[in-house]
């Protein structure tokens, strides 16, 4: 049997309209830790994105478990929001673990963050789950694993 191509999960990248609003949401409200903040306009970034004259602002944030979330803003290229249903093909949400879904829900509501529902027990009975929307309308699943 051959070696697997994928050996691990690296990060999730989210394109933002206003990186400062997104940074506030993920860092100040959800509590992720800022680990990098830089801008890249190198030949490298233009080569891997297939763009010309790209300027990309990157902010990388880390969760307590070590997983990384990457926020990106392209000041050199106009970005449009794409409205898609939760059932459309493609990436439709990210999921973040919390210690207490009820506490997380209350904090998000207090911060005037749009939530889709209150925390609900999953059909398998292993988690309490709800969704909220980040400043760009990206669906964020908030998950408390039980046991």
What mean pLDDT comes out for the span 12-23? 94
Does the pLDDT value for residue 79 go beyond 90? Answer: no
pLDDT tens, position by position, 24-73: 999 999 999 999 999 999 999 989 889 999 999 999 999 999 999 999 99
17, 81 contact by CB (below 8 A): yes
* Cα–Cα distance, 85 to 3 (Å, whole number): 36
Region of poorest pLDDT, from 1-15, 35-49, 132-146: 1-15
Region of poorest pLDDT, from 28-32, 37-41, 101-105, 135-139: 135-139
Does the pLDDT value for residue 89 go beyond 70? Answer: no
Q: Which CATH class for the 11-73 domain?
A: alpha beta
Region of poorest pLDDT, from 18-32, 47-61, 82-96, 100-114: 82-96
What is the DSSP secondary-structure string of 75-103? TTS--------TTSSS---EEEE-S-HHH
H helices within 26-79, ranges in order?
43-49
- For 94-145, CATH gives 3.10.180.10
* Cα–Cα distance, 121 to 22 (Å, whole number): 28
What mean pLDDT comes out for the span 3-14? 84
Position 78 scores a pLDDT of 84
Position 61 scores a pLDDT of 97
Q: Where in the chain is the domain with CATH 3.10.180.10?
A: 11-73, 94-145
């Amino acid at each position: 049997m051959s070696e697997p191509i994928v050996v691990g999960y690296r990060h999730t990248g989210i394109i933002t309209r206003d990186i400062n609003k997104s940074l506030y949401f993920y860092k100040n409200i959800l509590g992720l830790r800022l680990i990098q903040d830089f801008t890249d306009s190198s030949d490298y970034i233009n080569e891997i994105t297939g763009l010309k004259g790209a300027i990309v602002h990157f902010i990388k944030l880390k969760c307590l478990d070590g997983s990384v979330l990457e926020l990106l803003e392209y000041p050199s290229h106009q970005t449009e929001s794409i409205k898609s249903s939760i059932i459309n093909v493609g990436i439709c949400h990210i999921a973040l673990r919390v210690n207490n879904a009820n506490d997380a829900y209350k904090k998000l509501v207090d911060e005037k963050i749009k939530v889709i529902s209150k925390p609900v027990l999953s059909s398998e009975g292993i988690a309490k789950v709800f969704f909220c929307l980040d400043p760009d309308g990206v669906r964020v699943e908030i998950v408390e694993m039980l046991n």
